[in-house]
Amino acid sequence: MVLGVDVGGTFTDAVLLTDGRVVTAKAPTTAADQSDGVLAAVETALERAGTTAGEVDRFVHGMTVGTNALLEGKVAATALLASEGFTDLEELGRQARAELYRLCAGHPPPLVPPGLRVGVRERMGPEGVLRPLDERALYGSIRALSHSEGVEAFAVCLLWGFRHPEHERRAAAILEEEVPDAHVSTSHETAGVFREYERAATTIVDAALSPLLRRYLERLGERARDLGLPNPEVMLSGGGVADAGTAARHGSWTVLSGPAGGSVGAARMAERSGAPDAVCLDMGGTSCDVSLAEAGSVKRTGGREVGGRALALPMVDVHTVGAGGGSVAWADAGGALRVGPRSAGADPGPACYGRGGFEPTVTDANLVLGYLDRGSPLAGGVELDLGAARRALADLGGRLELELEAVAAGIARVASAEMARAVRVVTVERGIDPRDLALVAFGGAGPLHAAAIADELGMRRIVVPRASGVLSALGLVAGERRRDLVESVLLAGGDLTEEAVGASVARLAARGREELHAPEAEVRASYDLRYAGQAFELTIAEAPEPDPGRLRRAFESAHEERYGYADSHADLELVTVRVTVAEPAADLIPGNDGAAAEETTRSALFDGRRMEAKVLGGAISRVSGPAICELPEATLVVPPGWSGGADVDGTIVLERG
């Protein structure tokens, strides 16, 4: 029996796999303490399953604690220990503009203020020690800092620490001796890759988030044990699952914990439905996350920015926009209709929730359009108030000089266009034709807008899992226990041999298996390669024991596809080795609960015209538009011209006529 709980901006979702069944539950997200919403969702799921917490074998958690803290700047007070002369790395960054054509746009302020930056007297070079560590001076600096009020964490990032970590280890030992209650993050453990700014920025984020994560996970663990649940495991940003202790030690590894679960679940369900190459679109109450699945696996990246801060870590490649069910619609100074990025959140929520919200949102628009049923509560027991939604939209319509239904249709269209733009970022802007891919729509609001987004992009196939409203939680259950490890090796010419690369892979594999306590875990490897003199690399997936000749052929094929040419005479350089050590993931249980089919009708607006649409519930076999499919935790809108049916899992696959 496996339990997955995912915290979203509006709802907290729970999925329990037990006795060949999928039992789901939702509860409102509790922003002040996410563990309150987690336990509420868990208790509902256990009650529906007719079981007790003591019967649960695994408890996997996806959260937004680290994400929210980083975006809001509410992190632990952090000090930085860097090589003397390099203490301002985080603030200097890459000296690039935040936005090319907005000179007033700036980068977020550094997490470490100047007064908490310590220059460490030492120096490593590529071959080893150039200047020994001055321990006496370091002791003095740390003792001076320890008197600073509120410093909870220390980030240690020394030059060439990724290759020669001896000085970093000694500095960490001194910190643990002098300030035993503080958290310490070292760059060689957090992000052991070259490029000094990215490594320093990642280590600082790790140090700043880890105390918050530790407190949250300790509190959640205590409450889970009191209920009878096992200790929680946590979804990491790369799509793998780790124990809570590992996640608490490395807060930066969990920044995309929530979106990663959804991407993993969507990729698995897409493959089961015969669409292994797909766009995964997760539209919740606050935002929309878009990712790609290739051959049934979610696409990952070796680093990215989150909230304007560089993170040199393996992550699910997700692009996020502020378009969710709770996104607020407004009129800009020029009189144009806009949607988001500000959200009404879970409290008070959209106007139709009847909790005191008065601003028009995407959910209010969908209710007025007839896509949502005012007589049926949303997941989590939220009752919908059509009158409140109409009043909120009428107020905006008065400012825009538009009729009520025109405002509602405009809000839905603008939100869909914003999400289509996000899909273009991960497809068209990277040379991928979205028309060749299926669209997997999930989240509480994703299926409502799936057809409109597909029409905008010329996509011809939509996949909607029956459990789409809680697919992120289902993805947590399907996530593999995994470690992602990296090592920058910088091998070129005669040094780039199978033996040298194999030794690096073996070191990382041994470390990963030891951390997982799984000596038989599977090992997968990929390699960041470039031509000598280039500034950026391409990642090539290959066997753990690579042949340099085969690596070169694979790299040149990828280089020609990306840049339009390959140079067989140029020197090849292997920059970084990436190794994944993983245990097999749980098999996803079909999501068809066998509920009896139901059919009614409801008036809804399609392309500016009111139509009688079929409203289908229960076990849906075939559907053709205009229709509305009411799934357990989500609603699928099927416009005229779209039709399809459900597979053995209950997943609805639509095609455009």
- With a pLDDT cut of 70, the percent of the chain lying above it is 97
Q: Which amino acid is at 558?
A: A
Give the pLDDT of residue 594.
58
Question: 315 near 237, Cβ under 8 Å?
Answer: yes
| pLDDT confidence band for 598 (50 / 70 / 90) | confident
Give the pLDDT of residue 415.
94
Region 199-227: mean pLDDT is 95
With 90 as the cut, is the pLDDT of residue 224 above it? yes
Using alpha carbons, select from 281, 256, 280, 259 the residue that is nearest to residue 268.
280
Helix (H) / strand (E) containing 616: strand 609-617
b/e for 52-62, b at 16 or more Cβ within 10 A?
A: ebeebebbbbb
| Lowest mean pLDDT across 38-47, 234-243, 336-345, 608-617 | 336-345
Give the pLDDT of residue 92.
93
Angle at 432 between CA 431 and CA 434, to 5 degrees: 140
Going by DSSP bridges, is the β-strand pair 642-646/652-656 parallel, antiparallel, or unpaired?
A: antiparallel
| Lowest mean pLDDT across 171-175, 506-510, 554-558, 584-588 | 584-588
| pLDDT confidence band for 136 (50 / 70 / 90) | very high
Summary mean pLDDT of the chain: 90
What separation in angstroms does the CA of 82 have from each of 60, 160, 200?
Answer: 36, 11, 8
| pLDDT confidence band for 71 (50 / 70 / 90) | confident
Read off the DSSP letter of residue 445.
S
Residue 440: count of CB within 10 angstroms of its CB: 31
| pLDDT confidence band for 449 (50 / 70 / 90) | very high
Region 566-579: mean pLDDT is 93
Question: 346 near 41, Cβ under 8 Å?
Answer: no
Give the pLDDT of residue 363.
94
Give the pLDDT of residue 33.
87
Give the pLDDT of residue 343.
84
Please report which residue ranges of 297-381 form alpha helices under DSSP H.
362-369
Using DSSP's 3-state secondary structure scheme, residue 638 falls into strand
Distance in angstroms (rounded) separating the CA atoms of residues 291 and 467 = 18
With 90 as the cut, is the pLDDT of residue 596 above it? no
Taking the CA atoms of residue 461, residue 464, residue 465 and residue 467 in that order, the dihedral angle to the nearest 10 degrees is: 170
In this structure, the chain runs to a length of 657
Region 487-512: mean pLDDT is 92
Question: 422 near 288, Cβ under 8 Å?
Answer: yes
Question: 556 near 566, Cβ under 8 Å?
Answer: yes
Give the pLDDT of residue 303.
87
Give the pLDDT of residue 342.
85
With 70 as the cut, is the pLDDT of residue 589 above it? no
Q: Is the dihedral of CA 294, 298, 303, 306 positive or negative?
A: positive
Region 77-93: mean pLDDT is 95
Region 249-271: mean pLDDT is 91
Going by DSSP bridges, is the β-strand pair 153-157/78-83 parallel, antiparallel, or unpaired?
A: parallel
Give the pLDDT of residue 544.
80
Distance in angstroms (rounded) separating the CA atoms of residues 13 and 24 = 7
| pLDDT confidence band for 381 (50 / 70 / 90) | low
Give the pLDDT of residue 73.
86
The string of pLDDT tens digits covering residues 25-68 is: 888 888 888 899 999 999 999 999 999 999 999 999 998 888 88
Give the pLDDT of residue 546.
85
Q: What share of the chain is helix, strand, coil (3-state, %, to 5)?
A: 35, 30, 35
| pLDDT confidence band for 606 (50 / 70 / 90) | very high
Residue 333: count of CB within 10 angstroms of its CB: 5
Domains in the chain (CATH in brackets) are: 72-212 (3.40.50), 482-582 (3.30.1490)
With 70 as the cut, is the pLDDT of residue 263 above it? yes
Token pair for 493: 């010419």
pTM: 0.88
Using DSSP's 3-state secondary structure scheme, residue 507 falls into helix
The string of pLDDT tens digits covering residues 277-326 is: 999 999 988 889 999 999 888 888 888 888 889 999 999 999 888 888 88
With 70 as the cut, is the pLDDT of residue 379 above it? no
With 80 as the cut, is the pLDDT of residue 204 above it? yes
Region 518-528: mean pLDDT is 92
